[in-house]
Amino acid sequence: MHRPGARWVIPGATLLAVVGSVLWILQAGGYDTARALHALWDGAFGSTYSLVSATLVRATPLLFVGLAVGLAFRAGVLNIGAEGQFLAGATVAVAAGFAVGGWPRLIALPLARLAGAAAGAGWAGLAAWLRRRFGVLEVISTLMLNFIAAYGVSFAVRGPLQEPTHVYPQTAELSAAVRLPLLFDGHRLHLGYVLAVLLAVALWWFLTRTAAGFRVRAVGAGASAARSAGGIDAARTAAWVFVASGALAGLGGASEVTGVTYALYEGISPGYGYSAIAVALLGRLHPVAIIGTSLLFGALEAGAAAMQRDANVPSVLAAVVEALVVLGVLALDHARRGRTD
Amino acid sequence: MSAEYTDFLQASVRTATPLALAAYGELVVERSGVINLGLEGAIIAGAFGALVGAGAGSLGAGFALAITAGCAVSVLMAVVVLWLRADAIIAGTAVTMLALGLTGTLYRAWYGAQGAALSVPTLAPVRVAALADVPLFGRALFEQPSVTYLLYVLAVALWWWMRSTHAGLALRATGERPAAAFAAGISPVKVQAMALLFGGAMGGLAGGVLVLAQVGTFAEGLSAGRGFIAIAIVVLGRWSAPGVAGAALLFGAASQLQYVFQSLGWPVPYQLFLALPYVLTLLVLAGTQRRAESPAWLGRPLDDDAR
């Protein structure tokens, strides 16, 4: 099936559709469109502060979970549990942070973060084990584990980890020894962002330059072919990718509590694990491209927050844009396949 | 104790109703081989449709618009999955995000000024004579809003329809081996499209029930994950209609237990009960997957030899 011009028509139409839909929603809602767009831009890029302390701070968790989802999807593992793995990482990192808070920072901070990564890995590992041992679809198991993790956080911040006065449903603040250093004076951006970018580059190197990375990509391209032609244990590779993906998401949760909030509370993730799917897909599952898309979505969410503040447009509009982007990418994929059919 | 017991049972059934209706929809969709993560989107769209319809007209208009909105969401899902042949999981996530974002934005725009004061009329309970007088559970089960009775009726009707009608057979055949169904003259694409449409209608109805039989108003994100709970319910109910009804009642009871424990003053963390059904679902999954109770083709795309 040949579709002349699809290469330009479809992406252009997708972009137009996203922008057009947003404008239509703003119009239909009776919002002051010019003011809303102005607030959106200001909140994301308008000043050094909004760029560094809003956009990049928002981009950090999105980069971690985006890499997690991207890696999993690369191997054909439909991990939609990054949300739960993020929460598990945040919870255990806070708990560990209290335990080692009195130790020197050089030891305490990495320990707390490693604990978070391990928790994320374990949470994903549970789903990977269910898949290998019992053949349970990871889509359903990770969905269940997301809920269990959310209730776990809810329990922790009202129970064993609640702050000492037992008034607020949140933990006490982490001590300085387990807080990530800030990158610039007067800005909220923390070392976690640098680590996430380095991780993205390392992941790219791993996927393209190592034998193990090749196995991951081969399994994603077709598990049965990888098995028969390459002699790759596809199930084993997929399970390890699953665990590594969980570790990345868990590290994202650990970064959020050690770098931004310094405490755990319900709703610490406004759905990062789901936004991650948009981040990863728009980045075509390429780790370095995901740096860019996480920045884009970080800007979108920072701008949407400003839009709510200044133009009274609800910030959930960002979810509409994320969803339209994903649908657009799916349409693009369809067009691309159409050309090769 | 008796009055509290009846209240508990009644509230459990009330909570279970939208869950069961959405899960019946998901049951049919999964029997056709598709996992519909867009269900949550259909529920929130239905809830918003119910608000708009009931606000402008009547309860009937509310339910009609709720079902229409749910169908609209599932049409989008069907287009992306069946026509664009995209991955159903990714598409479903996007469709749900879209519906959550769109309803939230439009709600604030159209009703923002009225805020929490906004309310719509709700369905009054209908007593089923004789049955409501049965001791122990009569009042709890048979003095409910009329839509609740769909929970009982559909448990039997869907069960019969799936096992005894030609259409039900075509549905199950598509979910088991779409290529074989295709060879037998069934169009798996058409079957899955119809199943998704039914799923969307039921999701929309569930959203309508939330607004028009329970809450009496709308809030951003009112669906609160019920679409995903419905997916768990289908698993827990082992892909059968009566099983779904039972699992929905279990989820309903679990979410009501917290209030019972609160009133009794027992210091049991309520999150335990909320999380328990999900743990149970995982255990059931682990225990039954090998026995092939789930549709064999569940979650796999249609191959070229099935279209």
Q: pLDDT digit string (tens) for A227-267?
A: 776 778 888 999 999 999 999 999 999 999 999 999 999 98
Q: Are A321 and A18 in contact (CB under 8 A)?
A: yes
Using the 8-state DSSP alphabet, how is residue B235 labeled? H
Nearest CA to CA, how far is A33 from chain B (Å)? 12
Are A29 and B104 within 8 A, CB to CB? no
Task: Please report, for residues A44, A176, B79, B96, the alpha-carbon distance to residue B72 in angstroms, rounded to integers and kept in the order given.
Answer: 33, 52, 11, 12
| Backbone angle region of B157, left / alpha / beta, with phi > 0 → left and psi within -120 to 50 → alpha | alpha
Which residues of B fall within a CB distance of 8 Å from A143?
228, 231-232
HEC-encoded secondary structure of chain A? CCCCCHHHHHHHHHHHHHHHHHHHHHHHCCCCHHHHHHHHHHHHHCCHHHHHHHHHHHHHHHHHHHHHHHHHHHCCCCCCCHHHHHHHHHHHHHHHHHHCCCCCHHHHHHHHHHHHHHHHHHHHHHHHHHHHHHCCCHHHHHHHHHHHHHHHHHHHHHCCCCCCCCCCCECCCCCHHHCCCECCCCCCCEHHHHHHHHHHHHHHHHHHHCHHHHHHHHHHHCHHHHHHHHCCCHHHHHHHHHHHHHHHHHHHHHHHHHHHHCCCECCCCCCHHHHHHHHHHHCCCCHHHHHHHHHHHHHHHHHHHHHHHHHCCCCCHHHHHHHHHHHHHHHHHHHHHHHHC
For residue B217, the 8-state DSSP code is S
Contacts of B229 in chain A (CB under 8 A): 147
Q: Can you tell me the mean pLDDT for B7-33?
A: 94
Tell me the nearest-neighbour CA distance from B271 into chain A, angstroms: 6
Please, which pLDDT band fits residue B289 given cuts at 50, 70 and 90? low
Please give the share of chain A, as a percent, with pLDDT higher than 70: 95
CA A313 to chain centre: 24
Please, are residues B281 and A147 in contact by the beta-carbon 8 Å criterion? no
Alpha-carbon separation of residue B34 from B46, B87, B302 (angstroms): 21, 10, 10
DSSP state of B12: H
Residues of A in contact with B222 (CB under 8 A): none
Q: What is the predicted pLDDT for the residue at A5?
A: 54
Judge whether A66 and A283 are in contact, CB under 8 Å.
yes
8 Å CB contact between A62 and A272:
yes
Q: Is the dihedral angle over the CA atoms A245, A247, A248, A254 positive or is it negative?
A: positive
DSSP B165: S
Q: What is the pLDDT of residues B82-134, one digit of tens each?
A: 998 888 988 999 999 999 999 998 888 888 756 555 778 788 888 787 787 77
A107-121, B213-227, B252-266: which is most confident = A107-121
**Hunting for tokens 């694409």 — which residue is that?**
B189
The mean per-residue pLDDT over the stretch A2-7 comes to 52
Say which amino acid occupies B304: D
CB neighbour burial string for B124-150, b if at least 16 within 10 angstroms, e if fewer: ebeebeeebeeeeebbbbbbbbebbeb
Q: Where are the alpha helices (DSSP H) in B32-147?
A: 39-56, 59-78, 88-111, 138-142
pLDDT beyond 80 at A1: no
Alpha-carbon span B191 to B178, nearest angstrom: 10
Question: In whole angstroms, what is the distance from residue B35 CA to residue B31 CA?
Answer: 9
Contact B100 A316 (CB under 8 A): yes
What is the value of pTM for the model shown?
0.89
Alpha-carbon span A307 to B290, nearest angstrom: 51
- pLDDT, tens digit (0-9, with 9 covering 90-100), for A288-323: 999 999 999 999 999 999 998 888 888 888 889 889
pLDDT greater than 80 at residue A125: yes
So what's the ipTM on this one?
A: 0.87
CA–CA dist A211, A81 (Å, integer): 27
Residue A3 has pLDDT above 80, yes or no: no
Instruction: Find out whether A79 and A221 touch, Cβ atoms under 8 Å.
Output: no
Tell me the nearest-neighbour CA distance from A99 into chain B, angstroms: 24
Q: Specify the pLDDT at position A341.
A: 44
Q: Which residue has the tokens 């708009």?
A: B52
Percentages (nearest 5) of helix, strand, coil residues in chain B: 75, 0, 25
**Tell me, what DSSP letter sits at residue B211?**
I
Q: Which amino acid is at B71?
A: C
Does A277 lie at the interface with B, CB-CB under 8 angstroms? Answer: yes
Interface of A with B in 225-264 (CB under 8 A): none
Per DSSP, the three-state class of B87 is coil
- Beta-bridge mates of residue B283: none
CB contact under 8 A, A25 and B102: yes
Is there a contact between A314 and B108 if contact means CB atoms under 8 Å apart?
yes
Whether residue A72 is predicted with pLDDT greater than 90 in this model: the reply is yes
Q: Kindly tell me the number of DSSP H helices and DSSP E strands found in chain B.
A: 12, 2
Phi, psi at B212, each rounded to 5°: -95, -10
Residue B270 Cα, gap to closest chain A Cα (Å): 8
Q: What is the pLDDT of residue A8?
A: 64
Percent of chain B with pLDDT over 70: 96
Q: What residues of chain B lie within 8 A of the CB of A312, using their CB?
A: 108, 112
Interchain CB contact of A313 with B (< 8 Å): yes
**Pick from A29, A152, A155: which is nearest to B105 by CB?**
A29
Give the distance from residue B302's alpha carbon to the nearest chain A alpha carbon, in angstroms.
Answer: 15
Cα–Cα distance, A13 to B290 (Å, whole number): 45
Pairing of strands B125-127, B143-145: antiparallel
